[in-house]
Amino acid sequence: MRKMNALGAVALSLALTACDMAPKYVRPELPVPATSPQGPAYTPADGQGAIVPADTGWRDFFTDAGLARVIETALANNRDLRLALANVEQARAQYKVQRADLLPTVAAGGTATYQDQPFSQAGSGRADIYQAQVGISAWEIDLFGRVRNLTKAAQEQYFASVENRNAAQTTLIAETANAWLTMAADQDRLRIARDLEQAFGKTLELTRARFDKGVASELEVRQAQTSYDAARSDIAEATTLVAQDQNALNLLAGTTVPTADLPQSLPESGVTIDTLPAGISSEILLRRPDIASAEHQLRSANANIGAARAAFFPNISLTAALGSVSLGLSNLFASGSDFWSVAPSATLPIFDFGKNQGNLRYAKATYDAMLATYEKSVQTGFREVADALARRGTMGQQLEAQTSQRNAARTAYRLSEARFRAGVDTFLTTLDSQRSLYTAEQSLLATRLTRATNLVELYRAMGGGLK
């Protein structure tokens, strides 16, 4: 027993002091500028009072109670997120399987042999042999780090799957919020179309009355009818969009969203907090889960290079057993019946016709591919943040201008309608004012929706949505 323990301790010490053939991992330099872009489209950076998206939970960012409940439902029921979680469990199981190769597998067994020989020196042809043993079989002593690097590669794949799940969560939160906001805007679009239909309907009735009295022409009646029918068509389209928006929201939520949580209109404010930073350091991109996943994939590829290099060196394995053997079952564990055996072995590849060299080249090429993927992920993240900041930097001016345009169009329509009823202006002037007001209302609504979704996109692009 003491010999067995000593041998096992020596083998374990050799494995723990083994060399590592993997290249030393150094995080690549970020292939993007150190800070966010500057220019007329960007608001000057001012971190006072601004939150850090990666440190801000989604429940704190999304302040509308109905939207928060829909997001919580989606996180609990969305099938894509469940798939991502299942992928995490698969990667974790694979890592545990690979990690088990670092330590020997100890197994116990027993045999019984019954034989009858016609000529036996002992005077009897019958011999019953019983044996019981415990030992290890073909355990690889990892002197060159092959098994450890394979284990590290599996571990990094597991970490990457966790980050992929996190990325799926941030995407789901952003998509759910945007779908909710889109439905809210389409509800307002439907309301605007209905209001316009009523306005055009009144204009049509007035024009027909004037035509019956011989004051208006048939051309004016047809023009009023055209605008009225266009408004009716817009109502049908907006009704369809609201229904489709609800279907999209149900799919994201993984279940039917309660009517109480559905938006009825796009709020002027209060859907999210708006104290996001105007500028960032590129280092914050490393906290995005998709970029973190790409780096774990890169680390995994780096470890696989070490495993491929170790294949060029001898493979040393150990088989050992300790047990008892006797000619009778009653004497199996009697004094003097114990035995032990140790069988170390080593194999060194001499001619493999380029197999190991091919595996090494493949591992290096995989690393290069993962490096390009990592750098592309960083560049994509930088662009997403920069685009969101550029949109945010000019949104205030655009929203102010279109609000003023809508107000002016509303006043112009009210004045032109009064002048038309008084017989001062022609019908065409009133019709143009109605159309201008409708266009201004639609443009202002689209800008308000863009502002709301821009805040959601900026929050996601900066790594928010994990807490």
Positive or negative, the Cα torsion across 438, 439, 443, 446? Answer: positive
Distance CA 204, CA 224 (A): 5
Whether the per-residue pLDDT at 444 is higher than 70: the answer is yes
CATH topology of domain 109-140+318-347: Outer membrane efflux proteins (OEP) (2.20.200)
16 pLDDT more than 70 = no
Q: Can you give the residue ranges of every domain in the chain?
A: 2-102+142-313+354-461, 109-140+318-347
- Across 13-40, average pLDDT: 79
Dihedrals φ, ψ of 348, to 5°? -125, 120
- Angle formed by the axes of helices 79-99 and 65-77, to 10°? 50
* Single pTM value for the model: 0.85
Tokens matching residue 109: 């067994």
**pLDDT for 87:** 93
Count other Cβ atoms within 10 Å, centred on residue 338: 14
pLDDT at 6: 47
CATH T-level assignment (fold) for domain 2-102+142-313+354-461: Outer membrane efflux proteins (OEP) (1.20.1600)
How confident is residue 362, by pLDDT bands cut at 50, 70 and 90?
very high
How many other CB atoms sit within 10 Å of the CB of residue 258? 12
pLDDT digits (tens, 9 = 90+) for 215-247: 888 888 898 898 899 999 999 999 999 999 999
Percent over 70 (pLDDT), the chain: 90
Residue recorded with tokens 């969101």: 388
The percent of residues above 90 in pLDDT, for the chain, comes to 48
pLDDT band at 206 (very low <50, low <70, confident <90, very high): confident
Kindly report, residue by residue over 396-429, the tens digit of the pLDDT. Answer: 899 999 999 999 999 998 898 888 777 787 778 8
- Cα(50)–Cα(465) distance, rounded to whole angstroms? 16
Looking at the predicted structure, is the pLDDT value of residue 155 above 90?
yes
Q: Each residue of 222-249: b (16+ CB within 10 Å) or e?
A: ebbeebbebbbebbeebeebbeebbebb
> 425 or 186: which carries more pLDDT confidence?
186
